[in-house]
Amino acid sequence: MTGKTSTTTLLDRYLLGGLELPNRVVMAPMTRVRAAAGGFATPSMAAYYAQRATAGLIVTEGVQPSLVGQSNPGTPGLYTEQEASWRPVTDAVHANGGRIFAQIMHGGRVSHPDTAGLRPVGPSAVAAVGEVFTPAGPRPAPVPRALDLSEVPEQARSYSEAARRAVDAGFDGVELHGANGYLISQFLSSNANLRTDSYGGPIAHRIRFAVEAVAAAVDTVGAARTAIRLSPGGTFWGVEETEAPELYAALLAELARFDLSYVHLEATAEEEVLVGLRRAWPGSLVMNPVVPMGPKQTDRTAADHWLGLGADLISFGRAFLANPDLVERLRTGLPLAPADPATYYQGGDAGYLTYPAYQYTA
């Protein structure tokens, strides 16, 4: 670990690989479905992220690394000439003094043919639990096509190919989405992954896809530009993980061979388990102290608690939606504005660019 002391505060500087962060506040990745047709980033997206550039680090919404990896309608990609559309986004964030990673998200089985025009793929032919978003509204999650053994490495490499495009577009690095029931998480799962080959079954096999995806990204853009997000024990989209503490201890032990930028953990397991993983991970740790989309939102108390438990950086999700000046509000103790859930995914600039900085009154 670097930059960690017993009196660490949220507003202290932190050296993250080659990036000097002015504070330890991370904007968590959040799907906002505002991309243009074809998965292109837009001027509004550039404005949205630039408004929040006072964060120590911004992690974008999930960006699909391939058409078959697209989970939701209206999400951006990094697998075609989309790359050029991201340059104004990264330029705007950097012009405002910020730092930004792209989150690379392959949805795996959490998709629908109506969204991408392709049958979703997964480690096994097991449908996700629940309804997925489609252009025509929610639909039951379909049974994915199980990837053939020869196809699995190609899907792992798709993360590294997107990572190369991201860095070429000006991103400071990438975070692989290994959490929340999407493709990497599906391979880690004991009920979404029923494979009997070298990618399924025992823990050593179930972690293989995640390790190969990370290794490919490291080979392509370097370890200092590569990170991963994980949700130990999470049950998103119906995934289950037997022996979750052992599973993630084994995964982190393998990932420790790389000097990654960071590991990003969600509070999806008991605190004792998460603290154990913190101790097991030798590098920088970003902690999201609440379950994504759960009843609680990250606040200063939760952030300070996890800094005290050894986290290096704290990610804030929904608080950043309605508070583009979140860092200043945390610094001065100003109240946080509430976000309107009706605008999370509706598209357009309302509820996206329309939240103001704190308005002082005489």
The set of catalytic residues is: 182
Residue 167: which H helix or E strand, with range? Answer: helix 152-168
By the 8 A CB rule, do 321 and 30 touch? yes
Q: What are the start-end ranges of the H helices in 198-314?
A: 203-206, 208-221, 244-255, 271-280, 300-308
CA–CA separation, 69 vs 77, rounded Å? Answer: 9
By the 8 A CB rule, do 310 and 285 touch? yes
For the record, the structure tokens of 223 come out as 């370890």
SS3 of residue 134 by DSSP:
coil
Other beta carbons within 10 Å of 216: 20
Using CA atoms, how far residue 32 sits from 41, 224, 284, 311, 349, in Å, is 12, 27, 27, 27, 11
For the record, the structure tokens of 162 come out as 């997107």
3-state DSSP helix/strand/coil percent for the chain, to nearest 5?
35, 15, 50
By the 8 A CB rule, do 359 and 337 touch? no
